[in-house]
Structure 1
């Protein structure tokens, strides 16, 4: 039961990768630039999370669907997967709309 959230995030990322592969939006368009963009975004939001944790705004909670351990205090492993999903999805939407608008 505790791996459900991580599994859901992983399946969602895999589905985004299929969309990316089909339409060549990010990794299959320019892997280096995509990697740099997503890494920078994860670092930025990761720092945001760490500041939120330090100020007592964010906390891990006790969900039966998440893993019982954290990378750092109150920072679950799933957060990295979520930040990747958020960044990747945003990048795909941005690129997709840009391509769609150029065809109009």
Structure 2
């Protein structure tokens, strides 16, 4: 079904956003920093894609799940949304790992460090 991949990306983005909101891991902890980091990550990976497309490493495969709208040759509309999702997810996972580590070692010292 055309557009199903885009719908899956948007639903996933909303799900990660809800987890972020509940636990205040990224955007709900520091909005400006999260937006900037997500946009920088997305721009970096779009540049990475552009280099890969220009060198022939990346090509768009045929899929009925895509809308069929290309922003550039071999760059479907869904790609920047996926890259934004990927960048935001990385920030939420990092925030979760950081929170877990802080709760596990509240004194701020590592247990595997030499005395």
- Alpha-carbon offset, residue 69 of structure 1: 1.7
Specify the alignment match of 2:39 in structure 1: 39
The answer on 1:27 being equivalent to 2:17 is: no
**Can you list the C-alpha shifts for 1:17-50, whole angstroms capped at 9, x where unaligned?**
0000000111111100000100000010000000
Q: TM-score, normalised by structure 2?
A: 0.88
**SS of structure 1 residue aligned to 2:71:** strand
- Alpha-carbon offset, residue 8 of structure 1: 0.3
**SS of structure 1 residue aligned to 2:43:** helix
- Alpha-carbon offset, residue 58 of structure 1: 0.6
Alignment of 1:73-84 (within 5 A): 73-84=73-84
Specify the alignment match of 2:89 in structure 1: 89
Higher helix share: 1
Q: Tell which structure's C-alpha radius of gyration is larger.
A: 2
Specify the alignment match of 1:101 in structure 2: 101
**SS of structure 1 residue aligned to 2:29:** coil
Q: Which runs of 4+ in 1 moved over 2 A?
A: none
Count of residues in Structure 1 that have an aligned counterpart in Structure 2: 104
Q: TM-score, normalised by structure 1?
A: 0.97
Specify the alignment match of 1:9 in structure 2: 9
Specify the alignment match of 1:64 in structure 2: 64
**Can you list the C-alpha shifts for 1:54-89, whole angstroms capped at 9, x where unaligned?**
000111121011011201111111001110111111
